[in-house]
């Protein structure tokens, strides 16, 4: 099996974003193409890592993020 993750560039890195699915906001810290396979068959997903104001991070699908307002 190859690497289990790969960092990807994204135009919103280090800016405030909103997770459309939950409404939560924070700073986009990283976008990672991650192998989430548990069966040996590779399954890759692009995850956005977002840091909330309290310092805790959460993940969501990259397609779920948008720039947050001012």
Q: What is the pLDDT of residues 24-48, one digit of tens each?
A: 999 999 999 998 888 888 888 999 9
**C-alpha pair distances (Å), 58 with each of 5, 15, 39, 41:** 17, 15, 24, 25
Mean pLDDT for 39-68 is: 94
Structure-token pair, residue 3: 């690497």
Q: What are the residue boundaries of the structural domains of the chain, listed by start?
A: 5-67
Q: For 62, list phi and psi in degrees, rounded to 5.
A: -55, -35
Over residues 46-61, the mean pLDDT reads 96
Percent of the residues in the chain that have a pLDDT greater than 90, as a whole number: 74
CATH 2.30.30 fits 5-67, yes or no: yes
Q: Is the pLDDT of residue 1 over 80?
A: no
């Amino acid at each position: 099996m190859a690497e289990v993750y790969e960092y990807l560039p994204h135009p919103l890195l280090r800016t405030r974003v909103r997770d459309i699915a939950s409404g939560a906001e924070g700073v986009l810290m990283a976008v990672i193409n991650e192998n989430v396979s548990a069966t040996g068959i590779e399954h890759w997903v692009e995850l956005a890592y977002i840091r909330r104001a309290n310092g805790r991070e959460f993940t969501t699908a990259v397609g779920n993020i948008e720039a947050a307002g001012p």
